[in-house]
Amino acid sequence: MSERNLILATGTTVPWKPMLYFFPTMPIFFIFSWFFVLQSAERPSFLHHSSLVIPAPQKLRPLALVKNETGSHVGIDPSVKNRSVLSDEEEETEDPQEMSNLVAGAGCPTDNRTAILKVYMYDLPPEFHFGLLDWKAGGGDTGRKVWPDIQGKVPSYPGGLNMQHSIEYWLTLDLLYSEFASSMEGRSAVRVLNSSEADVVFVPFFSSLSYNRFSKVSSNQKKITNAVLQDKLVEFLMKSDEWKRSGGRDHIVPAHHPNSMLSARMKLWPAMFILSDFGRYPPNIANIDKDIIAPYKHVVKRFVGDESGFRSRSTLLYFQGAIHRKAVRHPSLTPKKYTPFFHLSGLLFDMQGGFIRQKLFNLLKNEKDVHFSFGSVQRDGIKRAMQGMHSSKFCLNIAGDTPSSNRLFDAIASHCVPVIISDDIELPYEDVLNYSKFCIFVRTSDALKKSFLINYIRGIGEEEWTRMWGRLKEVAGFYEFQYPSKEGDAVQMIWQTIAHKVPAMRRKIHKSRRFSHTKRTADSEPFQFRHESL
């Protein structure tokens, strides 16, 4: 039988069989094209993290006046320098004395990192912050109804694993403290009461605590409290003059827990997020170009007076944690509310983390000087983990259901040299700290090769380990959260990291306003062509 052909209007004869493959594929291409159009519409384009360039920090505006404890205004001397950030040249030095001087605040050679960041903080109702800690607002002026009197008693934050994502709590306390601090020496940020004077706008929502405590529906609720608070926050911000003025680009939104702000993040994407990593964010919502990676608060106690040394740490390599990863579950969302990217990325990280940990366990379980076991915070788990890290030379940090974990910062606090097996991890302060000086990085593909990891670790001698151990002791203070905050601690380092983002953020705001006058004119009167002579 002769082959049938299609005759087009032009008279061209086309074989009919290839057309059977052509038409079924058209809807697939159509769907994918619209997917990418919708993803990019009115949002930043997809970015590859490695291609992003962060501009050099520029000097910020002079510090505005702030109130002291008596209510009167006092000027802050703009010459007061914040010296806790290390310059690139200083970090490269191998001189331990020079490093110690930098940590102690002996000076930073450039002026463009020394200006104090001016922060406007919303007076959100207590239900968004200290009310989540069961603090009850008292009488008095408006400020006292919103904020606790931290000069008297500071509401405590719940302990255990809750503490690891408590970043927003410490930053909020620091801004409140800046209003009555006797000195600005060593400070990186101060609260201003006029938003027009501010470099950035801080949103004091304890989002991680909200997720941890209120992400499940109780018997008498129709909607999850955590979701209700996010809806209220988005509504408040969208109506505020501060958000409208910048489109949210100068806003700081803490969302350190990977599951916090699940619904709000999709609406607040122009803001600068404070995150633990990018594991559950699409790159058009969060990326290293605009957002901040902050350290976890370590749950083990910092090793003070550590004189242990290489020979007294009997365990070569230490890991305690979940080996068999459980399925990703997010009780704050019903299945209908899952975003495809979030659900898929969380599932992939969880599967990958489970496979890697199980594989490494099988490779290392018979090594006599390796501790690799299951552990949790239950039954003195934190205390046992601290003791194990204090007696170990190296501590494994393996990607789990997200690229980062609190385990890395527990290791730093314990001066146990971290061995990081997480190809996609982003680290805090990496623009000023060279982690290769006190951490070991191993690609996942290499770590899973038989005998590779253990042979590599055994090949690191006492001299090299001691050098890294010494550097760990020098930088450990950069990961310490405390109240009141001190120069060079985690709170001040986070503020400085934010300050480094301000010039690029300000550039975006200015660029977005280029045609604001033209738009106002076009909206108010008929368009007329105007010729202006040169």
Listing DSSP states for 49-118 in one string gives GGG--PPPP-PPPPPPPEE-TTS-EE---TT-----SPPHHHHH---HHHHHHHHTT---S-STT-SPEE
Q: Say whether pTM exceeds 0.85.
A: no
Per-residue pLDDT of 393-407, as tens digits, reads 999 999 888 899 999
Nearest of 505, 500, 489 to residue 115 by alpha carbon: 500
What percent of the chain shows pLDDT beyond 70? Answer: 67
**278-303 residues labelled b (16+ CB within 10 A) or e (exposed):** bbbbbbebbbbbbbbbbbbbbbbebb
Sequence length of the chain is 534
Which band of pLDDT confidence, cut at 50, 70 and 90, is reported for residue 221? Answer: confident
- Which residues lie closer than 8 Å to 237 by C-beta, 6 or more apart? 203, 243, 248, 251, 268
Integer Cα distance of 489 and 432 in angstroms: 14
The sign of the dihedral angle between the CA atoms of 49, 51, 56, 60 is negative
Per-residue pLDDT of 329-378, as tens digits, reads 444 443 344 444 444 444 444 445 568 888 999 999 999 999 998 766 55
* In the predicted structure, residue 483 carries a pLDDT above the cut 90: yes
* In the predicted structure, residue 411 carries a pLDDT above the cut 80: yes
Per-residue pLDDT of 134-167, as tens digits, reads 999 875 555 568 999 999 999 999 988 899 999 9
Tokens of 172: 């909020």
Per-residue pLDDT of 21-70, as tens digits, reads 555 555 555 555 544 444 444 444 333 433 333 344 444 333 333 444 33
Q: What is the pLDDT of residue 81?
A: 40
* 226 within 8 A of 220, measured Cβ to Cβ: no
- Which residues lie closer than 8 Å to 346 by C-beta, 6 or more apart? 258, 279, 280, 328, 330, 401
Q: Which helix (H) or strand (E) holds 244?
A: helix 241-246
* In the predicted structure, residue 519 carries a pLDDT above the cut 70: no
Q: What is the pLDDT of residue 523?
A: 57
Look-up of token digits 């290489």: 310
Q: What is the pLDDT of residue 86?
A: 43
The residue among 203 and 351 whose pLDDT is bigger is 203
